[in-house]
Structure 1
């Protein structure tokens, strides 16, 4: 994988990631397209209105429906969805965790029941990669053992050992089965225990993956515990590889994690909050449901250059939300994702100027 650091401001990093479907400048936020679709948006929205260079799709869900073979036969994720930027796909480990009443550990991986029809399936390190190769993912995540917090030391230690074991199997499989455009990231585990995080990061670092993710956070620990764990973990990750914090996503979390040396992010928050009536602006969060928006002829954010703010008033969006019109979901999602993408673009520019601390302070003042 071609990853170049263009600038560093203390621990904050600005980099360039060259992938088969375009260049990704970091720090970057990846919109979540679980079903090969970012909810309420299409490929034109993502490429033209948002200029999103990479989005995330979900291996577990796409494997179950419509199936990896069908997507492969229809041109992979890019041909199937018509999004011509890059795709990162997760391994399904989080779904096994979140749907744990349907899943259990197996000697070779994770056995789970489909939430759709109850059918039984086995995800092994090799199988989840084969699924992602069929999807033609630009970045593939390995299968890991994710544990909710709080958890016992013994359970966390077992998860680290299992994650390393599966990572070794994954890397061996990847070296003989992947195409040159399919890259692979390992996932550091260990809960909030500093010794286990160090162990996991060092063991995975010896295996020379294309990049490294920090997993197993935002699953029950406090914000302070999460930040301490990120700060500790990045100390043991290669400075020459991209770093991805999985599933973490308030503006505050992203800004703090960038300061701690993280490059890549994803979260459902911007689109989920949009659908529920909460919009992110440069003046803080705004509730479109509030009666004060009913007759306002101003845009959501006077400083915002998104498609929604250029064309529509708060009054119109308030009306759409109250009337339960589907158009509201698209316009609100476009705005929130634009805010997130501009947040990380602004962070990159500040890092390159050596002014990240000031940028972070300014942005956090509204949050």
Structure 2
């Protein structure tokens, strides 16, 4: 800390300790005593069960000052963001939006869509009808499915654009909920709404799959 000279950058201390709460507390206490600009939490999301990660995270943030930013490193999926914020996290970083985009996974208001699945081959709907991103406004699931199958680079770019838009929109909703003092309600509604939409979407996908199978049969395709 004594070596820090610049005032236009924030220096964060990184709390470690694995899943051991006592080691986490010791690490946090020592770093707080040094007076960092903010505090990062490392060593999580390395294969542990989500419930255990969330428990360890909550036990760790309890020892960090609420008046300074708290940053969860390398996390994560949409649920992880919601649960992290619920435990006092302010900042995240993760490769999930781009990495999932490269492998054909798209995030939606009703869960994840694996666009390479055959059931999307003739699906003319946008990835997420409720999404306002440029991908959902201009392209269909069928087109994104085609791009993935032929390994066209544009497909990866479009998938990533959609995923980043989803994440940015989700964090904006979280910030609004915090500002209005309704985050607890947002958190509960997030899971309830996703399950309701997932059930509706599963029903539509089942109908579409039957229609696609009938069309292929008429054309003599397997």
Report TM bin, short chain.
0.7 to 0.9
TM-score (norm 1): 0.51
Q: Distance in 2 between matches of 1:199 and 1:225?
A: 19
Higher-RCO chain (CA-CA 8 Å, sequence separation at least 6): 1
- RMSD (CA atoms): 1.3
Residue 191 (structure 1) aligns with: 18
Alignment of 1:88-237 (within 5 A): 171-175=1-5, 179-237=6-64
Distance apart, 1:311 and its partner CA: 1.2
Distance apart, 1:348 and its partner CA: 0.9
Residue 163 (structure 1) aligns with: none
The structure richer in strand per residue is: 1
Within the alignment, does 1:331 sit opposite 2:145 as a pair?
A: no
The structure richer in helix per residue is: 2
Within the alignment, does 1:352 sit opposite 2:182 as a pair?
A: no
Count of residue correspondences: 194
Deviations 1:82-135 (A, max 9, x none): xxxxxxxxxxxxxxxxxxxxxxxxxxxxxxxxxxxxxxxxxxxxxxxxxxxxxx
Distance apart, 1:256 and its partner CA: 0.6
Residue 281 (structure 1) aligns with: 108
Q: Distance in 2 between matches of 1:255 and 1:203?
A: 28
- Structure 1 gaps, min length 5: 1-170
Q: Distance in 1 between matches of 2:21 and 2:185?
A: 29
- Structure 2 gaps, min length 5: 196-222
Q: Distance in 2 between matches of 1:316 and 1:225?
A: 40
Classify 1:220/1:285 alpha carbon distance in 2 versus 1 (closer, same or farther; 3 Å): closer
- 4+ runs deviating over 6 angstroms: none
Deviations 1:35-55 (A, max 9, x none): xxxxxxxxxxxxxxxxxxxxx
Within the alignment, does 1:257 sit opposite 2:84 as a pair?
A: yes
Distance apart, 1:230 and its partner CA: 0.9
